[in-house]
Amino acid sequence: MDIEEDIRSLQLDSAEDNNGVVNAEDGRPEEVEKSDKMDEDPKQDVEAEPKAVEAEPKVKDKEVPSVQDEEDEPEMTKRHLNVVFIGHVDAGKSTTGGQILFLSGQVDERTIQKYEKEAKDKSRESWYMAYIMDTNEEERVKGKTVEVGRAHFETETTRFTILDAPGHKSYVPNMISGASQADIGVLVISARKGEFETGYERGGQTREHVQLAKTLGVSKLLVVVNKMDEPTVQWSKERYDEIESKMVPFLKQSGYNVKKDVLFLPISGLMGANMKTRVDKSVCPWWNGPCLFEALDAIEVPLRDPNGPFRMPIIDKFKDMGTVVMGKVESGSVREGDSLLVMPNKDPVKVVAIFIDEDRVKRAGPGENLRIRLSGVEEEDILSGFVLSSVANPIPAVTEFVAQLVILELLDNAIFTAGYKAVLHIHSVVEECEIVELLQQIDTKTKKPMKKKVLFVKNGAVVVCRVQVNNSICIEKFSDFPQLGRFTLRTEGKTVAVGKVTGL
């Protein structure tokens, strides 16, 4: 046992030295003793199923060292990324998402056969893969995604959460809430004759989704050209090149660095071709690039700061043995027992339990989608858009802020001037707002402010203005927290402007 104790203490020491996420107090002696006891009883490992969390204190103790060890040795844990599937209605987003879950073993053959039969009964044979993601009856009958579907899968190096965003223009607000939680985007484009064109033309969702994704902080984009097996396409290189050549200028215009942040690849979502394994040369002789899983694995995303002030915008809440809130950690880390504030109401709360997917964990870092059970606050006192934040450094709550806006496309005959009203979407906040004052216009060529006073601006202009909202909202300056400082303005179901918060 002595040798094991020595090894254990060495591990704890090295974890503290390596500036990891672990704090000095992590190596508390009682935890070391506990973990030694665990070492004596290997059966404990098997018992520590998430189901047994509530059952016996022994198992709870077991969780401390196991979670902790994972954090001590970062190479052991897989990184976690949120992927949002975006694109025009009917491009095959849900089908592609369903196929990914099937190929990664999240859905078994029998379930697929059940869905296949169900789809056949509705004379919708080709929709069966989409049923994996589209779970409610309305979505299945119409073949349209309404809610943002969520699912999980893993590759060699990464755990992914899929966010399947609706493509239909009536549900863009839902798509915004999906994309605001994402790290990377998969833009699904249909190669079928006519379908790409419809999505890409003015008013098509391909354009709006790309612009929104960029604004909402989806910095990396995989553009998958789907339905390559379609009779009108038949893996044609000409069709693929045509789509790529049309998309590249538009992606550049939307702010993407196409060389660094965008990757195109052909797939068939329905048949699963070029998804988990590379497409066969006999099917597509010209493609030498990666398959979808390889491309997802290889994506590099900027690291977030686990030691920064804690910030978790709340996207949903419900009652379950207390108040449970859901959201994605944008900065900082959280552990069981932490005291936090629910902003903007400044309600002090205590973290009772933390869940990632179905598993209860002792602590979690940035980028994770969590469900956190809180004590000290009632469920009805929390609204979607509130932010769980650290007590020492709470998130600012404001009713007015200064922002730099890019005007995309105003409604016909509308003028963008003081008094302009729109709906503001920023992280999980949806709030009506009014432009109180235009401060200066920015010259798009020189990027410098123009001298003359500005009273109104048109499409394509970049303008700095003061924005006012009715209720207090939690936001950050873009320069401090990009995820909590970029927003979109929408009017009558259209995105009219995108912007970033420059002053509070």
* Tens digit of pLDDT at every position of the chain (504 positions): 455 555 555 444 444 444 444 343 444 444 434 444 444 444 444 343 444 334 333 333 333 333 433 443 333 377 888 888 888 877 887 788 888 888 888 877 788 788 778 777 776 666 667 767 655 566 555 555 445 556 788 888 888 888 766 655 555 555 565 566 678 888 999 999 888 888 888 767 777 778 777 766 788 999 999 999 999 999 999 999 999 999 999 898 888 899 999 999 999 988 899 999 999 999 999 999 999 999 999 888 777 778 889 999 998 898 988 899 988 898 899 999 999 999 999 999 999 999 987 889 999 988 888 899 999 999 999 998 899 999 999 999 999 999 999 888 888 878 899 999 999 988 888 899 999 999 999 987 888 899 888 999 988 888 999 999 999 999 999 888 888 888 889 898 888 888 889 999
Contact 441, 450 (CB under 8 A): yes
Q: What are phi and psi of 7, to 5 degrees?
A: -60, -45
Amino acid at 465: C
Contact 184, 216 (CB under 8 A): no
Return the number of other C-beta atoms located less than 10 Å from residue 367's C-beta.
19
* Distance of alpha carbon 50 from alpha carbon 493, whole angstroms: 42
pLDDT (0 to 100) of residue 137 = 61
Burial 287-320 (b: 16+ CB within 10 A, else e): beebbbbbbbeebeeeebebebbbbbbbbebeee
CATH of domain 397-503: 2.40.30.10
Q: What are phi and psi of 278, to 5 degrees?
A: -65, 145
H or E element in which residue 467 lies: strand 462-474
Q: Is 405 helix (H, G, I), strand (E, B) or coil?
A: strand
111's tokens? 């379930």
How many CA atoms lie within 13 Å of 429's alpha carbon, on the beta-carbon side? 31
pLDDT (0 to 100) of residue 167 = 53
* Distance of alpha carbon 130 from alpha carbon 143, whole angstroms: 8
E strand segments, 366-428: 369-375, 387-390, 397-407, 416-417, 421-426
pLDDT (0 to 100) of residue 165 = 63
Q: State the DSSP code for 395.
A: P
402's tokens? 């200064």
Contact 409, 489 (CB under 8 A): no
Burial 146-173 (b: 16+ CB within 10 A, else e): ebbbbbbbebeebbbbbbbbbbbbebbe
pLDDT (0 to 100) of residue 139 = 54
pLDDT (0 to 100) of residue 66 = 38
pLDDT (0 to 100) of residue 445 = 81
Domain map (residue ranges) of the chain = 79-298, 311-390, 397-503
E strand segments, 257-345: 262-266, 311-319, 323-328, 334-335, 339-343
407's tokens? 């005007």
Q: What are phi and psi of 231, to 5 degrees?
A: -55, -30
Q: Is 349 helix (H, G, I), strand (E, B) or coil?
A: strand
CATH of domain 311-390: 2.40.30.10
Return the number of other C-beta atoms located less than 10 Å from residue 396's C-beta.
19
60's tokens? 């709870």
Nearest-5° Cα angle at 106, 101 to 110? 100
E strand segments, 376-461: 387-390, 397-407, 416-417, 421-426, 429-442, 456-457
pLDDT (0 to 100) of residue 45 = 42
Contact 227, 196 (CB under 8 A): no
Q: Do 79-298 and 397-503 come out as alike in CATH topology?
A: no
Amino acid at 468: Q
Q: Is 418 helix (H, G, I), strand (E, B) or coil?
A: coil
H or E element in which residue 80 lies: strand 79-86
Amino acid at 426: I
Residue in the structure block whose two tokens are 């809130």: 325
Q: What are phi and psi of 427, to 5 degrees?
A: 35, -115
Residue in the structure block whose two tokens are 């704890």: 12
Q: 79-298: which CATH architecture?
A: 3-Layer(aba) Sandwich (3.40)
Distance of CA 293 to the CA centre of its chain: 18
